[in-house]
Amino acid sequence: MAERKSALKRAPERPELEALYDAAKTRELTDEELQRQRASFVYGNAPKGSRITKESAEASVGKFRLKASA
């Protein structure tokens, strides 16, 4: 049987990463940044072979249609 690394070890200390994480917790996104993140999510989760392009994902994020609950 192959040797496996233990997954129970603590992660190494990364002070630079911790500082970035702490700074990100208090930062507020602009509307433009939020729309870019939404477009990236749409494009990144599109099925392979779909006709969704980066441009169509960017165009779609500004068009929210919410349905009222019944």
Q: Is the pLDDT of residue 3 over 80?
A: no
Q: What's the pLDDT at 22?
A: 95
Please state the rounded mean pLDDT for residues 38-67. Answer: 87
Please state the rounded mean pLDDT for residues 42-54. Answer: 92
Q: What's the pLDDT at 11?
A: 83
Q: What's the pLDDT at 67?
A: 66
pTM of the predicted protein model: 0.59
Q: What's the pLDDT at 7?
A: 72
Could you tell me which residues come within 8 angstroms of residue 56 by beta carbon, excluding any fewer than 6 positions away? none
Give 42: exposed, middle or buried? Use CB within 10 Å, 0-12, 13-18, 19+.
middle
Contact 35, 62 (CB under 8 A): yes
Q: What's the pLDDT at 51?
A: 92
